[in-house]
Amino acid sequence: MDLQQLSIAALLALVAYIVKGFTGFGAGIVVVPLLSLFLDLKVVVFAACVCAGTNGIVLARTEWRNAAWRAIVWIGVAALAGLGFGTYALVSLKTEALRKSFGALVCVFALVMLLEKSSDEGPPPKPWPEWLAPVSGFVGGALLGLFGAGGPAMVIYLTRRLPSKVVLRASIIMLFLCIDAARLGAYLTAGMLTHESARLACWTLPAALLGSSAGTKAQNRVNRQVFRRIVAAVLFATGLLLAGR
């Protein structure tokens, strides 16, 4: 990685964590596919995990009291099992196959974001049953281990389960902090800490913290639905590039 690539990576991390400041999640699904266009996916996933975990620690200081811990435990235990599966696949499969698969996943998620209606439109949806928690946890954990971006699987369940926005945001933050800590341990055990991954993490972490702070402060000044659709369009184009390479 040269200086230009590292500078671009820091800028993309800044943008991704501004997105997280608005939505409460989504940094991984933004930064990982964009960085993997010109950097090795395994290096990107490790650095993204460092950024996510550190950002989670900062946010957790004020959010842990509001979290729905029962839902977190149900999802978190299953996510750990999925995390092991995803990490094994990450270190075992060819990077080209990973990139194409991830590109397809990003396209699907982007389409869901584009077509999803605002939560303010119409009556509130019926809460999903609790037994779906471990299912979403396993799927999300596997995607986190494999791509560093399994958040949508778990967030979709929580948004259909927790009616309070305050409780929802706090639960998302605490859930991903726990999972990111386990994921970082799995990556270290798998030998993914290299000079390249550490260097990328050092460059992107300050930008990620700055972006998260800026996005959180500005979230009430911008139409969130419009912003999410713009992000979704960018993600869809990125997914097509990844899948087509």
Mention every residue, 6+ apart, whose C-beta is less than 8 A from residue 142: 82, 83, 85, 86, 89, 150
Q: What is the mean pLDDT of residues 124-148?
A: 81
C-alpha torsion angle, residues 181, 22, 34, 207 (rounded to 10): -70
Q: How far apart are the first and last CA of the chain?
A: 20
pLDDT of residue 207: 95
pLDDT of residue 148: 66
**Position of tokens 């972490």?**
205
Q: 49: how many CB neighbours lie within 10 A of its CB?
A: 27
Percent of the chain with pLDDT over 90: 20
Q: What is the mean pLDDT of residues 141-164?
A: 77
Lowest average pLDDT, out of 84-88, 194-198, 231-235, goes to: 231-235
User: What SS3 class is residue 64?
Assistant: helix
Nearest CA to 219 out of 25, 13, 19 is that of 19
Q: What is the mean pLDDT of residues 141-148?
A: 77
Residue 24 predicted with pLDDT over 70: no
